Structure 1
Amino acid sequence: MNAIVENPIPERPERDVPHQRAAVAAPHSTHVFKLLLKREFWEHKGGFLWAPMVAGAIFLLLSLMGIGVGEMAAKNIPEHATVNVDGGSFKVAGLNLGQITDKMSPDELRELGSGLDIALVMASSWPFIVLAFVVFFYCLGSLYDDRKDRSVLFWKSLPLSDTSTVLSKVASATLVAPTLALIAAIATLFGFMLIISAITMLHGGNPATLLWGPASPLKIIALLALSLPVYAAWALPTVGWLLLCSSWARSKPFLWAIMIPLFAGIFVSWFDLMQAFNLESSWFWKHVVGRLLLSTVPGSDLLYRGENLQLGDDGLEHINQLLSLRTAYGAFALPEMWAGIVAGAAMVFGAIRLRRWRDEG
């Protein structure tokens, strides 16, 4: 009897497959940094995006309420009441803004435009005021909160360096948050222009000649956008100090961040230590305490200009010089700017080093 031989299934011969899966390459460092920025945005979306938007919306709501109160008060003005301006007098009741505009000279229109520009800057400043608080408390809790909930252990288990993690927080505070505040400021600015345009048309005026022509909304937007690098550089000392406290403090980083500079200022003032350098104690409060705690406030660099600002005596020229890129970027001519950048970079480096071993809850 012939033996039955079970033939095994022939093995598939090995051959080169041109579309074999290639080895997965490590992600590029820029891609990792972008993901870290996205993480910071999604974790702090309320402060970065919605807080400036809400601040702008509150300003617009208050403006509408104020205009509504003014319109109601205007209805109670007697019919014979008039207001005198150059070139004639006009009735307050049923005021026709078109009549006033027709009698305004080119110089008066330019002054009107400067006044409108100031109003637009004030309108757009609301999101930036909120930005100062958002950046302050974001930096103060960014590294401390990771240790408090022990999520730092998870992030350290990933192929993420302490340097890239801390620098992503610096970039979020100095670039991402101000950019989102700028978007909210632009929306607030145009919303305010639309409101006053509607009121102008309600009183017989032409918004194109009375508002949009004399004012310079696009110039203000460009100034705000191009001033973001100035803000990022000027805010670096406060950002570095708060990150350093956030990575070092075992508890209550807010008290450590506030009390150390304040007690240092009190100590220096009490014993007149700045006299050894022929300086007043106010110098320490302004250039050390102020720079550590208040540099995230937009426009705070103007307080350090002094005589270097060189503004004109004329009111119109004064406003135009303030609303210029030359004035904004003049901050880079200050020694306080570069000293702050060096000090801020040193404190950021200290925060990176501390994060490598401060992982307790």
Structure 2
Amino acid sequence: MNAAAEPVDTPVPSRTFAATHPTSRFRLLLRREYWEHRGGIFWAPMIAGGVSLLLSIGLLIAGIAFAHKAVAEGNLVQHNGVTINGLDLGTLAQQLSSDDLQQLSEGMTYTLAMSASWPFLVMIFVAFFYCLGALYDDRRDRSVLFWKSLPISDASTVLSKVVTATLVIPLVATLFAVLIMFAFLIALSIAAAAHGANPVPLLWGNGAVFLLAGQFLAAIPVYAAWMMPTVGWLLLCSAWAKSKPFLWALLIPLALGVATSMTGLLQVIGLERHWLWGNVISRMLLGTVPFTHRDLAYLQSDAIEAKELFSIPGVYSNFLEPSMWIGIIAGAVMIAIAIRLRRWREEG
């Protein structure tokens, strides 16, 4: 009898996996930051924008109700010598002069900007506290040991948090702000059409909503650069503090400011007593507020037009200020120090 042939195990060729491209790794790090902080990055501005929209629509309905009540009591609308019965906005719109239309466009721009402000207000606090916990939370729950075991550099990890704070969080807040503006303008259009007016030339023809949307999106890189000193300082505190990074981030600049103001040390070198507060401490703690010193000076000027309030040339002129570049350099230095600290500081 022929012996049964024993099966011979053929060797399985080993699989080779292509190395992950650094760009793909960095994109995964950004995705990790989004999923771990989705509540602050996505849900917080969405909820704030929804509440703002509901309040705006509520005020619109209340205004219409009061107008109907006034008409029912016999009050009439007069414009350019023409008496208009009821709430016939179509007849009223026909009586508007070019100056009236210009004022309407100005008021519409301000109204839309105010309706979109809530997501930006939430963004200020989300970005601030995100940076404070970005490196501290990993040490506190010891997950930093897991992340250090992966082939991911400390520089990539910290830079992903910088990009999240300076670009991702503002971008998401801006998108929600734009959606709120369009939704509120649609509500205004429905109300105008219900009272006899054509909303297309009256509300949409000036293009205010499209102009503001483009300006908000174009301003993101400017305010990302403006945030650099604050982001760098908060990440540095987050990487260095053994506990309570919030207190350290506040107490050190505030103590420094109080000491220089009380002693007058800055006057010895020819600076004002309170120079440190406006030029250093505010940049360390208030950079997440989307208004630069140049913007605030422009808002306080006597003549200001709504269409120029967020103009792209005006916003990008911030790069002409030396303080902007000094802040960028200072923020980059503090971020580099935070990267170095993360390499060896692992205790909770």
Q: Which of residues 198, 202, 207 in structure 1 aligns to 2:199?
A: 207
Give the structure 1 partner of residue 75 of structure 2: 81
* TM-superposed deviation, 1:74: 3.0
Q: Does 1:28 align with 2:21?
A: yes
Shift of 1:303: 4.9
Deviation at 1:310, TM superposition (A): 10
- Contact preservation (8 Å) 1:83, 1:90: yes
Are residue 177 (structure 1) and residue 164 (structure 2) matched? no
Q: TM-score, normalised by structure 2?
A: 0.93
In our comparison, the structure showing a higher alpha carbon Rg is 1
Number of the residue aligned with 2:36 = 43
Alignment of 1:183-222 (within 5 A): 183-222=175-214
Moved over 6 A (4+): none
TM-score after normalising by structure 1: 0.90
Structure 1: runs of 5+ lacking an equivalent: none
CA 236–352 in structure 1, closer or farther in 2 if over 3 Å, else same: same
Partner of 1:333: 320
Counterpart amino acid of residue 46 in structure 2: M
Shift of 1:209: 1.7
> Is 1:268 paired with 2:260?
yes
Q: State how far apart, in whole Å, the 2-side matches of 1:87 and 1:131 are.
A: 48
Separation (CA, whole Å) in 2 of partners of 1:310 and 1:178: 21
Which amino acid is the alignment partner of residue 109 of structure 2? D
Residue number in structure 1 paired with 2:309: 322
**Is the contact between residue 215 and residue 310 of structure 2 (CA under 8 Å) also seen in structure 1?**
yes
- Structure 2's unaligned 5+ residue stretches are none
**Aligned equivalents of 2:307, 2:62: Cα separation in 1:** 32
Q: Which among 47, 53, 59 is matched to residue 52 of structure 2?
A: 59
The structural deviation recorded for 1:203 is 2.0
Tell me the SS of whatever aligns to 2:116.
Answer: helix
Answer with 261-270 or 58-67: which moved more: 58-67
Q: How far, CA to CA, are the matches of 1:13 and 1:355 in structure 2?
A: 48
Residue 62 of structure 2: aligned partner: 69
Aligned residues: 347
Q: In the alignment, does 2:225 pair up with 1:233?
A: yes
Distance 1:358 1:12 in 2: 50
SS in 1 for 2:274: helix
User: Per-residue deviation at 1:357?
Assistant: 1.3
What residue is the counterpart of 2:132 in the other structure? Answer: 140
Question: What is the distance in 2 between the residues matched to 1:10 and 1:54?
Answer: 66
- Greater displacement, 108-117 / 166-175: 108-117
Residue 182 of structure 1 and its aligned partner are, at CA, apart by 1.5
Q: Is the Cα contact below 8 Å between 2:308 and 2:314 reproduced in 1?
A: yes
Distance across 2 between alignment mates of 1:189 and 1:216: 10
Distance across 2 between alignment mates of 1:33 and 1:176 = 13
